[in-house]
Amino acid sequence: METRTLGNTDLRITRIGLGTWSIGGGDDEYGWGPRDDEAAVATILRALELGLNWIDTAAIYGLGHAERLVARALTAWRGPRPYIFTKCGLVWDAQGRAAHNLKRDSILRECEASLERLRVDAIDLYQIHWPAFPPGSSDRDIEEAWQALVELKQSGKVRQIGVSNFSVAQMERIRPFAPIGSLQPPYSALRREIEGDILPYCQRHGIGVIVYSPLESGLLTGKMTRERIAALPANDWRRRHPDFQPPRLARNLELVEILRGIARRHGCSVSEVAIAWTLRHPAVTGAIVGARRPEQIEESAPAANLRLTETDLAEIDAWHARTAPA
């Protein structure tokens, strides 16, 4: 599988990496319903067999459970060791309630806990998960958090450092302390906001971009119907999200039909088209693709080799122009 250098780091990553938010599962407010640990480990191993060379996780996914599953899979893996990317800044209390903390001491404790759960000596890419959480709250501690990541890199506990969900203004605030290796923003054929200023900024400053949710949490797979959404478990966060409810859902499913037509022309899955659309942008180094079962990552992985035509791209652009909110 083709690899590219991630920004100013020395990491050569495949165009697709495995995301582990969904396999964390659990009953917390960001859970995906009941979890199947055996299927999760099998999915990680299948992703590695298919040639993906990086796994993206976070401490908050399943309140540490996703990181433990990654460690369990790596224990069983006999091939080349993949890169492990994880994140900091979201912590939880004894009741499982999430809170945001970018203070130095908290970041250092989080790193030690992730190293222990992952069973590794060093994290390949350590990222600030959110500059503010909930989004829109205070981001006053981002400089302190970034300097803590620099400290961890200098100590050898992490190899490269990056950020997630940062704006251009926030990246400008921390960049004087150390180069930003990568940014992890949301990006999909449905959600294009970063094209305006964030992607050009990353290109200018040599910041790698690994986008998340290219499939919009299942919406752009071609398999998410109104009936399936209605049947989601009560502890699946998607039941409560506006993108999965009227009136947005009708517009979103209209885009899926556009992608389905493109998929027919290429003889591929809708998921492949949605992922390939994000990879076509020159600023995007790779895409994080979540999966809960081996067959899901088998369906998505070929997107790394799919090249969409100008006609394909024009169809998606025309849909955006026609349906953009006034």
Question: Could you state, in order of their start, the residue ranges of all structural domains in the chain?
Answer: 3-323
CB 68 within 8 A of CB 25: no
CB 182 within 8 A of CB 162: yes
Which architecture characterizes domain 3-323 according to CATH?
Alpha-Beta Barrel (3.20)
Residue 275: partners with Cβ closer than 8 Å, 6 or more residues away: 16, 214, 215, 287, 289, 300, 303, 304, 306
Q: Across all residues in the chain, what is the average pLDDT?
A: 95
Which of the residue ranges 83-92, 95-104, 303-312 would you say has the lowest mean pLDDT?
A: 95-104
Where are the extended beta strands (E) located within the chain?
3-5, 12-14, 16-19, 54-56, 83-88, 90-92, 98-100, 123-128, 158-164, 182-184, 208-211, 286-290
**Is 90 exceeded by the pLDDT of residue 34?**
no
d(CA 277, CA 308): 7
**Is 70 exceeded by the pLDDT of residue 27?**
no
Among residues 30, 61, 187, 201, the one annotated as catalytic is 61
d(CA 300, CA 14): 13
| 306-315 long-range Cβ contacts below 8 angstroms, 24+ apart | 306/266, 306/268, 306/272, 306/273, 306/275, 306/276, 307/276, 307/280, 308/262, 308/266, 308/273, 308/276, 308/277, 308/280, 312/262, 312/265, 312/273, 313/277, 313/280, 315/258, 315/261, 315/262
pLDDT at 33: 77
What is this structure's pTM? 0.94
61 in active site: yes
d(CA 211, CA 185): 5
**Is 70 exceeded by the pLDDT of residue 29?**
no
Token pair of 99 as six digits? 């809170």
- Provide mean pLDDT across the span 83-111: 95
Beta partners for 98?
92
pLDDT at 31: 73
- Provide mean pLDDT across the span 122-137: 96
| 234-238 long-range Cβ contacts below 8 angstroms, 24+ apart | 235/26, 235/27, 235/31, 235/33, 235/34, 236/31, 236/32, 236/33, 237/29, 237/30, 237/31, 237/32, 238/32
